[in-house]
Structure 1
Amino acid sequence: MTKQISLDALWDSATSQDRVFHLDDFTHLPEAARRYLEHAIAPGTKLASAVRLKMHGEIKLKSWIPFKAEQVICWEHGLIWSATAWMNSFLPIVGSDRIIDGIGAMQWKLLGLFPVMTASGSDITRSAIGRLQSESLWLPSVFCGDGVSWASPDSSDLDSNLHPSFVVQGERAELDFTLDQTGCLKTCKLPRWGNPDDAEFRYVDFGGILEEEGTFCGYTIPTRLRIGWYFGSDRFESEGEFFRGTIDDAIYR
């Protein structure tokens, strides 16, 4: 499989699993982790290896512009985000971001013809892996794997902090979740490789606010969210936030 694989081919590559979700299999986990999994996955739901999403929203380039997108996350191989955004409300920019089998790339064209952004290389790959790590929250079955470790540092009457850690595409994810007493995710943060200020690449706090959720095929996932760099600081609101999205549909395999 190469980085040129299509969205449909990535979806078709997903392997079906026979295992289904039973909370009794996770009694050894911290209480907050059990609460999250019980909220995110209905009993008896087949543990999926892939999700296909449709979404719309706004993305910030120099200004906020609307987009529509389709995305496939196939945990065995990676993700493709294929989108169209409209500059000045009528000029389409068409392209994709992807991380497939350890190779990351970005390619965007004005009117689908004229290149406006093309990027690849080791820094782009590491940053794209960070994106895959953060978007695991759309594939909650990932957190049922044997390779996930959990910590729940502290909690209050209002919410809990939860720290899942796992390795994907050769990089360790160190996620920080905030969830309420029902198990609903409220925020997500992780160190992600990037250069949001056009300086040298480095790990920068990345994440966002998860404002609404919905249920699809037995999975309850965030459906309206605000995402960006410098999450957890004042810089998120002023310069870091660059993505405001709404999930319209999700199917699992």
Structure 2
Amino acid sequence: MTKSISLNTLWESATPTELVFNSDKLSHLPEAAKRYLEHTIAPGTKLASAVRLKMHGEIKLKKWIPFKAEQVICWEHGFIWSATAWMNGLPIVGSDRVIDGVGAMQWKLLGLFPVMTASGADITRSAIGRLQSESVCLPSVFCGDDVLWTSTESADLDSNLHSSFVVQGEKAELDFTIESAKPRLRQRTGCLKTFKLPRWGNPDGAEFRYVDFGGTLEEDRTFCGYTIPTRLRIGWYFGTERFESEGEFFRATIDDAIYR
């Protein structure tokens, strides 16, 4: 599969499975991991290998500008995020992607005049980090035997959950904050509140290196048996004061999601 494939081709490349989610098979996992998976995947839901998302929001390019986008995440091959953003009323059309270990981005004003093009080893590694973070939109991948979990309960009634796995040859170390209880109702939940991971990048224009990357997940909705975050604030330096002042660059609302 080449890096120039379309959203439709990537979507059609996903291999459907007949395996379904069964919480009885989670008994070996930490309690917080079970709670998260039971919250995010309904019993009997087919374990999808791909998701197709529609979204809108704002992206920060010196200033916040609106965008609309469609994205396919196919765990076997990678992702394509295809978007149109508007700067000073003019459309900038392009995509970010990583396909089979090759990352690239390309953006054109009016769809014709190049604004930004990037590729190479650093772009690929950073794009794989994005794929790792966006696994929260395809939570079936966390049901694999190759995913390692650890967790700790905290005094504020939330759980700190750590997930370790490998995708596109890069190891992910993903930290989640999971809502543990609703104090008034004494109801245990598994709603995902934040995520964080070390992602390869150079947000300050310096040398590429691993930088804390993550986001706050403010709402969720259920699509096709999957309950996923649908209002997100994402950026660099997550967990520090720099996230609010300079790191946050992506605010999105997911409008629709279908699974395959």
Report SS of the residue matched to 1:210: strand
How many corresponding residue pairs?
A: 252
Quote the residue 2:218 is aligned against: 211
Return the alpha-carbon distance in structure 1 between the equivalents of residues 208 and 53 of structure 2: 29
Report SS of the residue matched to 1:197: coil
Return the alpha-carbon distance in structure 2 between the equivalents of residues 157 and 243 of structure 1: 28
Moved over 6 A (4+): none
Return the alpha-carbon distance in structure 2 between the equivalents of residues 122 and 34 of structure 1: 36
1:222 to 221, 229, 248: 229
Identity %: 83
- Alpha-carbon deviations, 1:50-109, whole Å to 9, x = none? 000000000000100000000000000000000000001x20000000000000000000
- Alpha-carbon deviations, 1:123-146, whole Å to 9, x = none? 000000000000000000000011
- Which residue type is aligned with residue 199 of structure 2? R
Query: Normalization by structure 1: what TM-score?
Result: 0.99
Return the alpha-carbon distance in structure 1 between the equivalents of residues 23 and 171 of structure 2: 25
The reply to whether residue 183 of structure 1 matches residue 193 of structure 2 is: no
Give the gaps of 5 or more residues in structure 2: 181-188
Return the alpha-carbon distance in structure 1 between the equivalents of residues 13 and 225 of structure 2: 22
- Which residue type is aligned with residue 143 of structure 1? F
Query: Normalization by structure 2: what TM-score?
Result: 0.96
The reply to whether residue 14 of structure 1 matches residue 7 of structure 2 is: no
- Which residue type is aligned with residue 207 of structure 1? G
Give the gaps of 5 or more residues in structure 1: none
- Alpha-carbon deviations, 1:204-238, whole Å to 9, x = none? 00001000000000000000010000000000000
1:201 to 205, 208, 211: 208
Quote the residue 2:184 is aligned against: none
Quote the residue 1:41 is aligned against: 41
Quote the residue 2:172 is aligned against: 173
- Which residue type is aligned with residue 171 of structure 1? E
Return the alpha-carbon distance in structure 2 between the equivalents of residues 244 and 157 of structure 1: 26
Cα RMSD, aligned residues only: 0.6
Once the two structures are superposed, the pairs formed by residues 28-177 of structure 1 within 5 Å of their partners are: 28-88=28-88, 90-177=89-176
Return the alpha-carbon distance in structure 1 between the equivalents of residues 57 and 167 of structure 2: 27
